[in-house]
A and B are shown apart, each in its own frame.
Chain A
């Protein structure tokens, strides 16, 4: 099935560094969502974006809804070890959302 492309696929960063990742699609979405999956758990919703150009923050996380409505970006500031996990973007559809391929983040203390 269709998946959104996320980059980078994986990344190692030092604790305290800022992190940026993005999600792109060939289709337009009216809502973008970002999830985090801790190891061995189900994904948890972090941020929802409802308007093109919107910038929304949740603690150290900031996400942006691309102006073309075909992409979204997630930034994590001052990373800490518990930020490790897989980050998924998703574009919302009426019944079945389309998920990204995921960005695996590993934080080196």
Chain B
């Protein structure tokens, strides 16, 4: 059984650019949630994907978008990067239909300059 992995680990982008972050789910999990954690804050829910469809969204603008693939891996895309997008981006996988633990990846630290 493999854990949740994320890539890349660190990333530096300039304002206005676009970025894609990737997440591979825990084996057997069909749901992926993405969170943004600004420095010194708790994570904030961005959105969740289940069976390749968005299944709930937090208070984030449309330039934050995502995909889930048939193997349940997922991408987070952010367009027109702003300085405030600098944060740790976490994905967590779980199995929908069960109130179970969410397994977190190690995160991708994005710095926008």
Real binding pair: no
Residues of A within 8 A of B (CB): none
